[in-house]
Amino acid sequence: MDRQITSFIRALRSSDVRVSTGEALDAVRAVAMVGYADRALLKDTLGCVLAKSPDEKVTFDELFDVYFSRKDTTTESAGASEQSQEESSGATAKNTPQNLVELMESGDETAIATAIEKAASAAEVDDIRFSTQVAYYAQQMVKQMGGESLQARLLDALSQHTDEGEAEAERLIEMRRDLTMRARERTQRAFDVFGKGETRQFREDYAASKRLSALDRSDMERMKVLVAKIAKRLAVKHSRRRKKKSRGQLDVRRTMRANAGMDGVPFNVIWRQKKRERPKIVVVCDVSGSVAQYVRFLLLLLWSMKDVVPDLHAFAFSGRLYDVDEYLEDKPFEEAMAEIMRVAGLGSTSYGQAWSDLKVDHEQLIDRRTTLMVMGDGRSNYGDPRTDLFRDFASRAKRTIWLNPEGPGLWGTGDSEILRYRPYCNQMSHVATLKDLERAVDDVLSAYN
Amino acid sequence: MMSNDLITGYEPMTSIEAITAGLESVGYISTRPISTSVFLAHGLRKPILIEGPAGVGKTDLAASLSRWLDVPLLRLQCYEGLDEGKALYEWKYGKQLLYTQILKEKLNDVIGDAQTLEASLSELGTFEDLFFSEQFLEARPLLTAMRQSAGSVLLVDEIDKSDEEFEAFLLEVLSDYQVTVPEIGTIRANVPPIVILTSNNVRELGDALKRRCLHLHIGFPDHKREQRIVQARVEGISETLLDQMVGFVQSIRELDIKKRPSIAETVDWAKTLLLLHANTLDETFVRDTLNVLLKHESDIAAVTTDIPKLVRQAVSGQSASGRPSSY
């Protein structure tokens, strides 16, 4: 019986629910306490031992239903097969390949289900990883069940060239079709339980390292989920401690106060604590055509982390610079993005204009705890890049980070002014994929530790 | 060892049904998942980590368990900066100091006849443990829980508000239910306490702690359960009013509001309506008492416009008692 639990846990793990060995042991012990008989009770029990967050609960519920609906037939048939094995060795012959035709003819559903399960475990169907393998594993199963002997009988019947032969062949073809269908069903279920998670993981890894500009519409939904995951990961990492103990510096006032009750004898010493600064980010985005797609993801990621970075200000420009916080706060993200593109996306790109707008209207936002993030390719249509203003901002800010969707090979070519801004940035990095973005934002937040 | 004394203490907890019935006898209307996790927590000796919105009875579960099992409830309220001294034990410095002052005179008698410094030191050595004994030990909730001979319910409330260091420390205590005080020795729980941790998700809890606990999510109750809870808590409320008001609350929870009313608010509201001698729900009553149910100005404003419709629904019983609960 423990085998069922361990195999269910394997299925959970492949769907992103992390189950430790300790929890697996707990699950076995818990099930020993409540038993298998009551399905709802089993679900409650395993749920509270194995799924430890709302996300995991959802996955658990889905998987439990799929997995144990399958086990409905197998527990029955597994029991039956064990019994038959115990009874006599002759009984097992019932399931040998030679008798496949008789087995199918008998219409004994339990026996067929047993045979299917046996073939499935012999063909190691539960190792399935990708949906493209379904056909292969189904074929392997049929082979295990003695599909070849069926094939032989079929050929035999056809070569007789008689009416009876034809009828026999037709019957056998029908039988083969039925068998294949059952095998496919079994394989598909195995994929649903064990393979889906793996496929998703693979897809996500692939999507995270794909060039953002190369994404098409169909990828957008998946990418959003991915961005949310990244945001959560970063939020957990950076929302941790706010205070840092700095040992070695005595807080005299608080120590005296705390020990007043002990006649001023300093039993408890209190050390000064350094408060961690809250991150403050000002992000300036070039939303001209070539960069817009990257900006979309940067803003999506940053806005998903609003809890960790409450002090977040976004500006978009191509010609003039616009404050876009309002749109992002009031509207669903897609609508906000469309609005931003409509307002800010139409001018001809001028970095000089953007800097002077920032200087005039929002200079006070940039102070010594601000990280100034710029997302853009630095292509300014041969206008004045106003590096003097940019230098000013950079010297006021805590750090200045430039994210460039263009590869370093293109920097400084044509109308790119990027190399003239570079000396004033703490860091200038090439950002092409979601992974790059994650690294960049992680880096910005780490500077506040 | 574990399997032999797996189930010790808390005799009434024989089955899941017994737990449900027992909790009901002290006025806590349980659900199957809740009773199951209590049963498992007892059998597996694991803490239960309860999550869910405020006011759905997380803390109350612990209180009810202690009432039913007739064991003490020890409550540890977590906050930022909570440390071992506040959670486990502390020496009573003040008392120690006071005693030294008073006993100063006596000190001469003890070491008076010692000739050398070494001799007086070894004389003193025999009294070493005088000031670090049980007498000067201030036991805090965790230690107190370990010392209960018949078991106890230990409630660690709002664990998410404590620091990470404390979480790690708690993990250590909860893994083997024993505490070491260097000066006295190891104190091992005779009957391990039933540990209940609650969290409102202020911060994400560490993985290690989650892995070590059973996880239970308590959401808003469905119509039937809420009705039974109110009935258990508010005496003398009429069937009609009960059905109508619970229906009303249930439908409010489905609206898009900032803070959805929880069971605590429903109970308060029921009491309020009872005080006003309401027999059935009507618009004026609802309008006047809505602030008991909703705690945000904008929520009240949002619901006020819908009151006639919602009341009509609740009164005519369209609030669909069979509707699945929101968790």
pLDDT tens, residue by residue, A112-147: 888 888 888 888 888 887 888 888 888 888 888 888
Q: Which of A44, A53, A267 sits opposite B33 (nearest CB)?
A: A44
Ramachandran quadrant class, B29 (left: phi over 0; alpha: psi -120 to 50; beta: rest): beta
| Among the listed residues B58, B65, B61, the one whose alpha carbon sits nearest the alpha carbon of residue B151 | B65
Q: Which domain holds residue B97?
A: 89-135
Residues B111 and B152 in one domain: no
B7 lies in some domain: no
Are A48 and B216 inside 8 Å of each other by CB? Answer: yes
Are A265 and B33 inside 8 Å of each other by CB? Answer: no
Residues B253 and B309 in one domain: yes
B78: CATH: 3.40.50.300
Could you tell me the CA-to-CA distances from A344 to A314, A318, A353, A438, B6 in Å, in that order? 12, 6, 13, 25, 68
Q: Closest-CA residue in chain A for B31?
A: A44
Angle among Cα B111, B113, B117 to the nearest 5 degrees reads 60
Task: Give dist(CA B212, CA B167) in Å, integer.
Answer: 12
For residue A10, how many other CB atoms are within 10 A of its CB? 15
Residues B291 and B168 in one domain: no
Task: Give dist(CA B11, CA B215) in Å, integer.
Answer: 23
pLDDT recorded at residue A283 = 93
B171 in A contact zone (CB under 8 Å): no
Handedness of CA B280, B283, B284, B286 (dihedral sign): positive
Asked if pLDDT for residue A270 goes beyond 70, the answer is: yes
Q: Is the ipTM of this complex over 0.85?
A: no
Residues B202 and B62 in one domain: yes
Residues B68 and B195 in one domain: yes
Task: Give dist(CA B180, CA A105) in Å, integer.
Answer: 71
Residues B164 and B71 in one domain: yes
Q: Closest-CA residue in chain A for B165?
A: A241
Share of chain A above pLDDT 70, in %: 90
Looking at beta carbons, which residues of chain B come within 8 Å of A267? 93
Are B214 and A48 inside 8 Å of each other by CB? Answer: yes
Residues B237 and B107 in one domain: no
Specify whether the CB–CB gap between B72 and B237 falls below 8 A: no
For residue B16, how many other CB atoms are within 10 A of its CB? 23
Task: Give dist(CA B93, CA A269) in Å, integer.
Answer: 14
Specify whether the CB–CB gap between A270 and A246 falls below 8 A: no
Specify whether the CB–CB gap between A112 and A73 falls below 8 A: no
Tokens of residue B130, six digits? 């005088």
B207 in A contact zone (CB under 8 Å): yes
Task: Give dist(CA A297, CA A229) in Å, integer.
Answer: 13
Task: Give dist(CA A433, CA A208) in Å, integer.
Answer: 6
pLDDT recorded at residue A247 = 66
Tokens of residue B225, six digits? 């359960």
Question: What is the DSSP annotation of B234-292?
Answer: STT--HHHHHHHHHHHHHHHTS--SS---HHHHHHHHHHHHHTT-SS--HHHHHHHHHH
How many domains, in total, are found in chain B? 3
Task: Report helix, strand or coil for A314.
Answer: strand
Q: Which of A22, A33, A44 sits opposite B43 (nearest CB)?
A: A33
Residues B240 and B287 in one domain: yes
Task: Give dist(CA A227, CA A438) in Å, integer.
Answer: 9
Q: How confident is the model at residue A167 (pLDDT cuts 50, 70, 90)?
A: confident
Question: What is the DSSP annotation of A382-416?
Answer: T----HHHHHHHHHHSSEEEEEESS-GGGTTSTTB
Asked if pLDDT for residue A256 goes beyond 80, the answer is: yes
| Among the listed residues A355, A345, A412, A408, the one whose alpha carbon sits nearest the alpha carbon of residue A378 | A412
pLDDT recorded at residue A240 = 62
Pick the more confident residue, A106 or A412: A412
Tokens of residue B267, six digits? 């109970």
Are B164 and A53 inside 8 Å of each other by CB? Answer: no
Give the pairing of strands A399-404 and A311-317: unpaired
Q: Which of B217, B232, B254 is the last residue of a domain?
A: B217
pLDDT recorded at residue B19 = 93
Task: Give dist(CA A339, CA B239) in Å, integer.
Answer: 53
Q: Closest-CA residue in chain B for A242?
A: B163
Q: List chain B residues with pLDDT less than 70.
A: 1-8, 111-112, 126-129, 317-327
Are B44 and A241 inside 8 Å of each other by CB? Answer: no
Task: Give dist(CA A402, CA A376) in Å, integer.
Answer: 8
Are B16 and A57 inside 8 Å of each other by CB? Answer: no
Q: Which of B172, B202, B217 is the last residue of a domain?
A: B217
Residues B283 and B182 in one domain: no
Could you tell me the CA-to-CA distances from A282 to A430, B144, B167, B317, B318 in Å, in that order? 19, 51, 35, 54, 51
| Among the listed residues B67, B47, B2, the one whose alpha carbon sits nearest the alpha carbon of residue B193 | B47
Handedness of CA B69, B73, B77, B78 (dihedral sign): negative
pTM beyond cutoff 0.90: no
Are B212 and A22 inside 8 Å of each other by CB? Answer: yes
B269 in A contact zone (CB under 8 Å): no
Q: Which of A49, A261, A265 sits opposite B214 (nearest CB)?
A: A49
Beta bridge partners of A427: A401
Asked if pLDDT for residue A391 goes beyond 80, the answer is: yes
Specify whether the CB–CB gap between A192 and A66 falls below 8 A: yes
Task: Report helix, strand or coil for B137.
Answer: strand
Across A230-251, average pLDDT: 72
B53 lies in some domain: yes
Q: Which residue has the tokens 């916080």?
A: A325
Are A241 and B163 inside 8 Å of each other by CB? Answer: yes
Share of chain A above pLDDT 90, in %: 16
Are B210 and A53 inside 8 Å of each other by CB? Answer: yes
Task: Give dist(CA A9, CA A22) in Å, integer.
Answer: 12
B39 in A contact zone (CB under 8 Å): yes
Handedness of CA B267, B273, B279, B281 (dihedral sign): negative
Tokens of residue A384, six digits? 């004045």
Q: Which of A52, A239, A263 sits opposite B97 (nearest CB)?
A: A263
Across A390-407, average pLDDT: 92
Are B32 and A41 inside 8 Å of each other by CB? Answer: yes
Handedness of CA B7, B12, B13, B15 (dihedral sign): positive
Beta bridge partners of B154: B74, B195
Task: Report helix, strand or coil for B22.
Answer: helix
Q: Measure in Å the smallest separation between the Cα of B281 and chain A Cα atoms.
A: 36
Are A41 and B211 inside 8 Å of each other by CB? Answer: no
B90 in A contact zone (CB under 8 Å): no
B10 lies in some domain: no
B2 lies in some domain: no
Looking at beta carbons, which residues of chain A come within 8 Å of B163? 241
Q: Closest-CA residue in chain A for B97?
A: A262
How many Cβ pairs within 8 Å bridge chains A and B? 68
Specify whether the CB–CB gap between A31 and A39 falls below 8 A: no
Task: Report helix, strand or coil for A25.
Answer: helix
B9 lies in some domain: no
B98 in A contact zone (CB under 8 Å): no
For residue B87, how many other CB atoms are within 10 A of its CB? 20
Q: Closest-CA residue in chain B for A273?
A: B81
Q: Which residue has the tokens 């059905």?
A: B243
Ramachandran quadrant class, A412 (left: phi over 0; alpha: psi -120 to 50; beta: rest): left
B211 lies in some domain: yes
Are B217 and A54 inside 8 Å of each other by CB? Answer: yes
Are B16 and A41 inside 8 Å of each other by CB? Answer: yes
pLDDT recorded at residue A156 = 84
Q: Which of B214, B256, B327 to mutate to test the interface with A (most CBs of A within 10 A)?
A: B214
Q: Measure in Å the smallest separation between the Cα of A4 and chain B Cα atoms.
A: 20
pLDDT recorded at residue B80 = 82
Q: Which domains does chain A have, with CATH numbers?
A: 1-87 (no CATH), 92-208 (no CATH), 242-275 (no CATH), 280-446 (3.40.50.410)
pLDDT recorded at residue B211 = 86
pLDDT recorded at residue A146 = 81
Tokens of residue A352, six digits? 């000089």
pLDDT recorded at residue B62 = 93
Residues B189 and B255 in one domain: no
Residues B150 and B164 in one domain: yes
Specify whether the CB–CB gap between A57 and A65 falls below 8 A: no
B5 lies in some domain: no
> DSSP assignment, residue A207?
H
B6 lies in some domain: no
Q: Closest-CA residue in chain B for A260?
A: B94
Residues B241 and B311 in one domain: yes
